[in-house]
Amino acid sequence: MLLMAKLFTSAANQGEREMPESRLHTTESECKFLDKIGKTSDTTRNYYPRILLERYLSAAAYRTDWGSMDKAMVLAHARKLMKGL
């Protein structure tokens, strides 16, 4: 049985629909994203990872829905990565 996650709003259809829980980001997947930030995307290769991590942390202050992610763990990981740069 496929579990359904909470409702989310899609900018494309301006409506609400259910998203399968299996497609939600996890703490682990968000940390893996942060590990690669500024290193793999053609869009962000011209930015230093430190700048992108600073912007991520700034934006995180306004993020209200962390889904199934552990906010404290994700932010701690981002700060740890910044210290290593």
pLDDT of residue 8: 43
Enter the pTM of the model.
Answer: 0.69
3-state SS assignment for residue 72: helix
Dump pLDDT digits (tens) for 14-48.
Answer: 554 565 565 578 999 999 999 999 888 888 888 89
CA distance 32 to 35: 5
Residue 25: what residue type? H
**Domain residue spans of the chain:** 25-83
Check: CB of residue 8 under 8 Å from CB of residue 20: no
From the CB of residue 22, how many other CB atoms can be counted at a distance below 10 Å?
8
